[in-house]
A and B are shown apart, each in its own frame.
Chain A
Amino acid sequence: MRAALILLAALAAAPFLGFGEGYSLTLLARVMILAMAAVSLWLLVGGGGMVSLGHAALLGIGAYAVVVLDDARITDAAVVVPVAMGAAGLFALVTGAVAIRTSGVQFIMITLAFGQMAFFTASSLAAYGGDDGYTLYGRTTVLGQRWLEDRLAFHYLCLGLLALTLFGGHVLLGSRFGRVLRAARENPLRAEAVGFRPYPYQLVAYSIAGAVAGLTGVLLANAAEFVAPSYLAWQRSGDLLFMVILGGLGSLQGAVLGAVAFVLLEEWLGHITEHWRLIFGPLLVLSVLFMKGGLVGMLRRG
């Protein structure tokens, strides 16, 4: 966990080390939010062996929960957060119940398909802007206070929740539940032979990851004060999966490293050319072909 702790400390100090102005804080918030999303996806891929290509939909559902409540003028976190987490968790539970019956390539395709379903549904919600998206009236309030309007407060909220997610994931993987989940990932037959049917454990893990993604979606909506169907696009799920693999499946902190590297790379290439994906795509291919074990693996090899 050392690399992740150093990163968290750096993020905590960043506003006082010359990264305190608007642009930097926006970028850092993006890093932290995506890192949180990547951690929740890591729990599925690295923890449970479930390669989901529909994770962005879960984030999007959390973000759209903010939208729906905002439209009804309900903005307090005491309502927004449980609704967002519940909606995303429920979606994960229902779609997971079907998807987890399959495995391997079918699982990938089915999660992709359900993600696309959520995407099209969001696009068809004319009341919330349809394809054009929805601009929030304001950020989520906490106990009626507009604390999150303050950029620094938002920065530390994101940091705190990222740290909590990372810690929570760590605890989860080490628990009895996590042990069964890891066993089922390594060898489902072995898990069954000692008496654990993987299905319920995987389904609960999928729902937990969904709820965490929903919480992340709340932050995502607040960061931009805007939500659009593109948040649910399958390319975003692909991005998240790339972060997880870029960081490495060897350890949970890989998700954080991967997200940081991903956003910085994207940002840097974006400054070079408008067509940055022309470079990004081949880099992705090369990293898959040649960088086994991800960044965590590289750090370990020294």
Chain B
Amino acid sequence: MSLGLLLVQGLNGLQFGVLLFLVAAGLTLVFGVMDFINLAHGVQYMLGAYFGASLAAWTGSFWLGLALALPAALVCGLVLEWLVFRHLYERDHLSQVLATFGVILFLNQAVRAIWGSAPLQMPVPALLEGGVTLMPGLQYPVYRIAILAAGLAVAGLLWLLVERTRIGALVRAGATHAPMVAALGVDIRGLFMLVFGFGAMLAGFAGVMAAPILSVDPGMGDTVLILAFVVIVIGGIGSVRGAFIAALLVGVIETLGRSLLPDLLRLVMAASPARQAGAALGSMLVYIAMALILAVRPRGLFPVRG
């Protein structure tokens, strides 16, 4: 195992973590502000990828695809909010879980019916093709660095929005004292919709960004959803800061675990069992980390509500 490999996988992990953050941020905000658990949030990520890939193919441009996919994801999110989710805010979490599960079944199948089961491709834009040399003989794709940069930029923007603006103040207040905020005459429904649409768009953005490097297929939202849950549980439900740190942590552990553990185990056992045990252990690592963190801090790293 070389230093170069470690560097590449570390960067991959951070980049995956940034994508996870974009999905988890919406999830944790929606939960924090509305006390609403939305399993269908992963579907927003999938829809973003599908919209991006097909719109890019249609217009012939990655950038047009991206520019058109974002409003499309937003509209989808708002339609779902209007049609289904707003009827669930007052219901218990069990009902929310089941109803949004139904939405997933529908949308995953709809995607299959429209685009087929085969994975879609989305080309990397010409501007971001090629690689940069990290070390002599070691190239790293520009596009992946662009994802990292874009994700960090959005995270920064989100921080400014939540910490430094009036709307952000309302969101923070809404997370802890929703009835109070409503009593002060703030249109809480409007605030909910805003947060919801924003979260949907963030997830859609992550989907578009991921499309050129991951396979765009009907189940892609579910995997990300569950990891995003792990992220917000570790980070502390409702905390954007916690989600950011936990997302990077989960991204790095997941990526490094899966790629390095088989190699590491080969140091102490034979090649074939090492590969098997490494693969099994690597896929368990994130969840073991979650269990350990929760064993010490049951409410996550940055608990919001007391």
Q: In the complex they form, do A and B come into direct contact, defined as C-beta atoms under 8 angstroms apart?
A: yes
Task: Establish whether residues B109 and A288, one from each chain, have CB atoms under 8 Å apart when the complex forms.
Answer: no
CB under 8 Å from chain B, chain A span 78-128 = 95, 98, 101-102, 104-106, 108-110, 112-114, 116-117, 120-121, 123-127
B108 at the binding interface (Cβ < 8 Å): yes
A190 at the interface (CB under 8 A from B): no
Tell me, rounded to whole Å, the shortest Cβ–Cβ distance linking B135 to chain A: 31
Identify the closest chain A residue to B39 (Cβ). Answer: A238
| CB-defined contacts of A124 to chain B, threshold 8 Å | 276, 279-280, 282-283
In this assembly, does A142 line the interface, its C-beta being within 8 Å of a C-beta of chain B? Answer: no
> In the assembly, what is the distance between CA of A238 and CA of B110, in Å?
19
Cα-based distance from A121 to B91 in the complex (angstroms): 34
User: Does residue B298 face the partner (Cβ distance < 8 Å to A)?
Assistant: yes
A105 contacts B226, C-beta separation under 8 Å:
no
When the two chains form the complex, which single residue of A98, A113, A245, A282 contacts B230, counting CB atoms closer than 8 Å? A113
Q: How far apart are B70's CB and chain A's nearest CB, in angstroms?
A: 25
- Distance in angstroms between the alpha carbons of A126 and B278 in the assembled complex: 12
B97 proximity list for chain A (CB < 8 A): 51, 53, 108, 238, 241
- Residues 123-149 of B, flagged 1 when their CB comes within 8 A of A and 0 if not, give 000000000000000000000000000
Q: Number of residues in A with C-beta < 8 Å to the partner?
A: 42
Give the contacting residue for A278; candidates B31, B110, B288; CB below 8 A.
B110
For B271-306 the 0/1 string (1 means CB < 8 A from A) is: 000011001101110111011001100110000000
Residues of B within 8 A of A109 (CB): 37, 229-230, 232-233
The smallest beta-carbon distance between B275 and chain A, in angstroms, is 8
A284 touches B276 (CB 8 A): no
Selected from A105, A234, A277, the residue in CB contact (under 8 A) with B106 is A277
In this complex, which of B232, B291, B295 has the most chain A Cβ atoms within 10 angstroms of its Cβ? B291
With A105-B93, A284-B98, A285-B84 in contact, do A113 and B109 touch (Cβ < 8 Å)?
A: no
A282 and B112 form a contact (CB under 8 A): no
In contact, A102 and B294 (Cβ under 8 angstroms): yes
Check if B103 is an interface residue, CB within 8 A of chain A. Answer: yes
Give the dominant DSSP class at B's interface. helix
Alpha-carbon distance between A277 and B279 when the two chains are bound, in angstroms: 33
Give Cα A280 to B279, complex, Å: 35
A45 within 8 A of B: yes
Query: Can you give 11 contacting A-B residue pairs, CB < 8 Å?
Result: A101-B294, A106-B237, A109-B229, A114-B287, A117-B287, A124-B276, A238-B98, A241-B98, A275-B109, A278-B109, A288-B98
- Contact check, B229 vs A104: say whether CB atoms are below 8 A apart: no
Provide the bound-state CA to CA distance between A110 and B37, in Å. Answer: 13
* Mask: chain A, 239-255; 1 = CB below 8 Å from B; 0 = not: 00110010000000000
Residues of chain B within 8 A (CB-CB) of A104 are: 93
